[in-house]
Structure 1
Amino acid sequence: MPQDPRILVDASSFLYRAFHALPDLRAPDNLPTGAIYGVANMLRRLQKEYPSDEIIVIFDAPGGTFRDRLYPEYKAHRPSMPEELRVQIPLLHDWIRATGLPLVIEPDVEADDVIGTLAREAAPDQQVLIVTGDKDMAQLVNSRVRLVDTMKGIETDVAGVEERFGVPPERIADLLALIGDKVDNIPGVPGAGPKTAARWLTQYGDLDGVLAHAGDIGGKVGEALR
Structure 2
Amino acid sequence: MKNKTFIIDGTYYMYKYYFAIPMLRNNFGKPTNIIYGFINMINIIYKKYNPNNIIFVFDSKKKNFRKKIFKKYKKNRSIMPKEIIDQIKPLNFLIKNLGIPIVSIPLIEADDTIGILSKIENKKKNYVFILTNDKDIYQIINSKTFILENFYKIIGKNEVKEKYKIFPKNIPDYLSLVGDKSDNIPGVPCIGKKTAQILIKKYKNLKNIYKNIEEIKYLNIKNKIKIIKNLKEKKKETIFSLKLTRLNLNFKIKNKLKNLKLKNPNIKKLNIFFKENNFKNKIIFKNITF
Coarse TM-score class (shorter-chain normalised): over 0.9
CA shift digits 1:51-79 (9 cap, x unpaired): 45111111111131111111122112221
2:230 alignment counterpart = 224
Q: Which 5+ residue runs of structure 1 have no aligned equivalent?
A: none
Aligned-pair CA distance for 1:221: 2.5
2:251 alignment counterpart = none
1:13 alignment counterpart = 12
Aligned-pair CA distance for 1:160: 0.4
Alpha-carbon distance between aligned partners in 2 of 1:88 and 1:29, rounded to the nearest angstrom: 13
AA aligned to 2:35 is I
CA RMSD of aligned residues (A): 1.7
CA shift digits 1:104-158 (9 cap, x unpaired): 111111111111001011235321111222221110101111110235x321010
Structure 1 runs, 4 residues or longer, greater than 6 Å off:
none
What fraction of aligned residue pairs are identical, expressed as a percent? 34
Alpha-carbon distance between aligned partners in 1 of 2:138 and 2:28, rounded to the nearest angstrom: 41
Alpha-carbon distance between aligned partners in 2 of 1:76 and 1:225, rounded to the nearest angstrom: 24
2:154 alignment counterpart = 155
Alpha-carbon distance between aligned partners in 2 of 1:96 and 1:135, rounded to the nearest angstrom: 26
Query: After alignment, is 51-60 or 95-104 more displaced?
Result: 51-60
Alpha-carbon distance between aligned partners in 2 of 1:85 and 1:49, rounded to the nearest angstrom: 28
1:144 alignment counterpart = 144
Q: Which 5+ residue runs of structure 2 have no aligned equivalent?
A: 217-223, 233-290
AA aligned to 2:170 is R
User: TM-score scaled by structure 1?
Assistant: 0.92
Alpha-carbon distance between aligned partners in 2 of 1:28 and 1:135, rounded to the nearest angstrom: 39
Over 3 Å counting, the alpha-carbon distance change for 1:13 and 1:52 in structure 2 is closer
CA shift digits 1:17-55 (9 cap, x unpaired): 111011322223322211111122112221333445111
User: TM-score scaled by structure 2?
Assistant: 0.73
Check the 8 A contact 1:65/1:109 in 2, yes or no: yes
Aligned-pair CA distance for 1:225: 1.3
AA aligned to 2:130 is I
Aligned residues: 224
1:201 alignment counterpart = 200
Aligned partner of residue 147 in structure 1, secondary structure: strand
Check the 8 A contact 2:4/2:51 in 1, yes or no: no
CA shift digits 1:192-225 (9 cap, x unpaired): 1222111100011111111122223323223211
1:71 alignment counterpart = 70
